[in-house]
Amino acid sequence: MTDARALSRRIASLLAGERSRLAEFLVALADFDRKRGWGTLGYASLFQYLERELRLTSSAAARRMTAAALVQRFPAVVEPLRDGRVCMSVVCELSKALTPENAGQVLPRFYGLSKREAEALVAELRPVANPPRREVVTALARPAPPLRASAPAEALTAAPAPERTSPAKSERVQPDADLFSAPARPRDEVVPLDADLRRYHVTVSKAFLAKLDAAKDALSHAIPDGDTEAVLTAALDLLLEKTDRRRGLVKRPRPAPQKPSADPRHVPAAVAREVWKRDGGRCSFRLPDGSVCGSTKRLELDHIRPVALGGRSTADNLRVACWDHNSLHAEHVFGREHMDKFRKDADRSAPSTAAGGSTSGACGEGAEAAGSTRTQRQRGTGS
């Protein structure tokens, strides 16, 4: 722990140094640009100087140029950059929103924001005029498998052409100039349009579109125009209701059973409901700085005093924890070596997955057998 604390102090000091140097770099770059130092050296522009002399990639050069221009126009940005309230990924968004008139009020609103949050704030401050409410389905082709130099010539000529998916029932296919170089599954992307509206790009399979069409048909009485957002919202509401039921969060809870379960790991629905509500559906693990983790991902009910050590499934002894903190808690209680050994044993005894699937589920169960602090309800078996 002492070692970790000392290392953490060193890392924090390095980070502070990095931020400070970045701020100094941008101030110097802005000054260099103001004096047209790049022209004196024979470069056509600051961008060319950054790309050729400093060997930055074009995107890195563009980001730094934007940041240097922002620093020139708004020197008040330098201190927040230096102390980390504003990071480089937010600077480009900031440059879209700041004006001499609004800088005093708007700059502090960007403090501590992620890039995505900054994009949303820009959309709120400068909404897109008349955002289109449209739905477009574009066919993508998976890239062809790479050709191996050692493959026989006939195999190369016989290589199948990349399959182009045919449009499903509701598709309106748009020509796509970059069709055959499109990645197999681009990441989902959310583009804020104004304070409320978002454009959502998502890559799906034909099977998904067929299901969507079937759902639109099934809901055509309630949603006659087949609005995709309305249909998906109805589906997501059902899914979230199901998750709530597993957590005991139902509108009309059943009375608690008279006879308690013989299994000490079993968490009664009424207790689960109380804990999920009390912890607000977030990981309540306390961090060293005194705040709570607050994660909403991979949540489980965690026995504070493990069942293996006599802990009981009562609201006082349970908390909502994310998978990582649940595992960390088990390591703190039983020791890392002990947990590593049981994870390895679980991995060895887990059935091999032909498709190379994850064994984390088996690992979790092994950890539980080893006296982990996890509960049955984490796997939905306790409801």
Q: Sign of dihedral through CA atoms 31, 34, 35, 41?
A: positive
- Shortest CB 281 distance to Zn ion, Å: 12
Q: Which is nearer to Zn ion, 296 or 353 (CB)?
A: 296
Q: Which is nearer to Zn ion, 27 or 293 (CB)?
A: 293
The tokens of 160 are what?
């199948």
Binding footprint of Zn ion, residue count (CB under 5 A): 6
Residue 191 region by backbone torsions, left for phi larger than 0, else alpha for psi between -120 and 50, else beta:
beta
Crossing angle of helices 2-34/58-73, nearest 10°? 70
Residues in Cβ contact with 208 at an 8 Å cutoff, skipping those fewer than 6 apart? none
- Does the protein bind Zn ion through residue 49 (CB under 5 A)? no
3-state secondary structure 241-301: HHHHHHCCCCCCCCCCCCCCCCCCCCCCHHHHHHHHHHCCCCCCCECCCCCECCCCCCEEE
- Does the protein bind Zn ion through residue 374 (CB under 5 A)? no
Q: Which is nearer to Zn ion, 179 or 287 (CB)?
A: 287
- Shortest CB 256 distance to Zn ion, Å: 28
Distances in whole angstroms, Cα of residue 38 to Cα of each of 42, 45, 168, 300, 309: 6, 6, 54, 57, 69
**Residue range at the interface with Zn ion (CB under 5 A); choices 3-11, 14-22, 314-322, 341-349:** 314-322
**Residue range at the interface with Zn ion (CB under 5 A); choices 27-35, 49-57, 88-96, 316-324:** 316-324
Q: Could you say which of 20, 48, 295, 383 contacts Zn ion (CB under 5 A)?
A: 295
Q: Which is nearer to Zn ion, 62 or 293 (CB)?
A: 293
- Does the protein bind Zn ion through residue 293 (CB under 5 A)? yes
**How far apart are alpha carbons 74 and 110 in whole angstroms?**
14
Q: Could you say which of 19, 246, 273, 325 contacts Zn ion (CB under 5 A)?
A: 325
- Does the protein bind Zn ion through residue 328 (CB under 5 A)? no
Convert 181-190 to b/e letters by CB count within 10 Å (16 or more is b).
Answer: ebeeeeeeee
- Does the protein bind Zn ion through residue 283 (CB under 5 A)? yes
- Does the protein bind Zn ion through residue 246 (CB under 5 A)? no
Q: Which residues bind Zn ion (CB under 5 A)?
A: 283, 285, 293, 295, 322, 325
